[in-house]
A and B are shown apart, each in its own frame.
Chain A
Amino acid sequence: MTDGIPHHRRIFLKQVATAVGAVPLALGASVVAGGAAAAETGTAAAAATAGASGQAPVPVVTAWLFFDGNEGRAAEAAVARLIPADDTGPGAKEAGVAVFIDRQLAGAWGSGDHLYRHAPFLAGTPQQGYQLAFTPAEMFRLGFAKLDEAARKAHAGAFADLTPEQQDALLGEAEHGKLDFGALPSAAFFGALLDATMEGFFSDPIYGGNRDKIGWKLVGFPGVHASYANDIERHGVAWTRPPASIADADNGG
């Protein structure tokens, strides 16, 4: 017990590290300050971030596993518009949602491990659901490239370099299928991006998004605190305990 960690806890921490999957931080890592990132998007958001943690922002290392640098920038810019930092608090970018999406695309989900992939791929009725040949990884790769292409065509800049208003307009066109992404309907890409953004904003922080439980704090979800037998019949009583994540619980609360 020389490191001050009880033996059984050390075993547990090791298991957790294995389960979550060690992230190789050396992979073309760039260091950004979480606080600085928030400050870019407005003082209200920065204040909300600082206020939430009550301490100086901790530098965050972004290691892209799937995205190249351009895709990563586009992803961060896009999720920042889908869930912006504003007077309700920090948004998806501050919550690490682009990091979440990157890790998901690099993993089994990105390669379609639960997606039926057999041909023929035919156009169906809306009731028949998703019938494209793309895995999530293929779709996001093409989608971000096409989004940048559309940005350059409309405004002579990469998507990440446009103004928020220009970005919103392009995202809105994608949402309604008005951008030409070739074989990929832009509405399908937008839908997948929005889904992944919500997942990243609201899933457990162990996946890289919902950093500092920003998403859970926004709505008041308590996370993994979850035994309400004593509380469920106390109607109308607000739940005021701070949210807890899987990682917090592993660390003894």
Chain B
Amino acid sequence: MKHAIAAAALGLFAALAALAQSPDFARKPPAWQVALEASKEVAAGEAIATKGKGAALACAGCHGAKGVPAAGAPFPRLAGLPVEYFAKQLFDYRDGIRANAIMGPIGKALADAEIASLAWYYASLEVSAPRATASADQPQRGWQLARYGDNALALPACVDCHGGDVTGGGPVLPGLAQPAAYTAAQLSAFRDGERKNDGDGIMQAIAKRLSDADVKALADYYAER
């Protein structure tokens, strides 16, 4: 290694001149962000949500008339989701980054502007979280994981990132108040590598350290929020 050090010390300026580079530290904005900025037509979104559009079935059919699914249904609440999260998910369905047999074709049937309109529409709806009546098996475990995490498993609390149960923690970090079946399905999908649209794999890694009982405890906890 000595020769390398010497070269670096003596020939440094020459070497650097040859290395002339123009590092670009800026990133292109994601396509969903561009779409959201370009189109904010809530009424157009409402029309697609209630009537559908071609191969895209009406959202309301599964997700409820005002974005809140029927009690016991395995579909997520859409009302009050941040526009950014909503749009990113539909882009991901469309692009196959988030795989789902029902949502994939729906995403493919929607143009950028239509996804944006739907996002603005659902964000405009009054937030009312579904409330489960079933009591949780392990309320203490669900509460612990959600609020404090688990030191031995190196799990941070859900609320660290996801913030308020309904309002969420940020544009792409939704509140986790959702039907138990949906939450459990998503955690399982992250754990089994079926859902991978979580950036560098932050949720996949977390879900892999959750037991089946932990998944159920969290699903029950967030169903009650």
Contact = CB atoms under 8 A, between A and B. Distances in A.
Given A7-B139, A8-B143, A230 B167 contact: no
Nearest to B143: A8
Contacts of B199: 229-230
A253 interface: yes
Contacts of A248: 164
Interface stretch (B4-12, B23-31, B105-113): B23-31
A231 B147 contact: no
Contact of B164 (A11, A229, A233, A252): A252
Interface residues of A, number: 24
- Among A11, A224, A233, A253, chain B packs the most CB atoms within 10 A around the CB of A253
B74 interface: no
A226 B30 CA distance: 21
Nearest to B169: A227
A244 interface: yes
Interface string A208-242: 00000000000000001111111101110100010
Nearest to B33: A234
Given A8-B140, A227-B161, A230-B199, A252 B225 contact: yes
B172 interface: yes
A56 interface: no
Contacts of B162: 227
Interface residues of B, number: 32
Interface string A153-179: 000000000000000000000000000
A227 B171 CA distance: 10
A21 interface: no
Contacts of B26: 235
A253 B167 contact: yes
A8 B165 contact: no
Contacts, number: 66
B27 A252 contact: no
Contacts of B160: 226-227
B137 to A, nearest CB: 13
Given A234-B29, A235-B26, A237-B33, A249 B173 contact: no
Interface string B137-159: 00110110001000000000001
A231 B140 contact: no
Contact of A8 (B30, B142, B168, B172): B142
A227 B169 CA distance: 7
A185 to B, nearest CB: 44
A12 interface: yes
A154 to B, nearest CB: 51
A6 interface: yes
Given A12-B147, A229-B199, A253 B164 contact: yes
Contact of B163 (A8, A225, A229, A231): A225
Contacts of B165: 252-253
Nearest to B225: A252
Contacts of A9: 143
Nearest to A15: B147
A230 B163 contact: no
A35 B147 CA distance: 35
A231 B171 contact: yes
B114 interface: no
A6 B165 CA distance: 14
A180 B100 CA distance: 75
5 contacts: A8-B140, A8-B143, A231-B171, A248-B164, A253-B163
The 5 lowest CB-CB distance pairs between A and B, nearest first, are: A253-B164, A227-B161, A8-B143, A230-B172, A253-B167
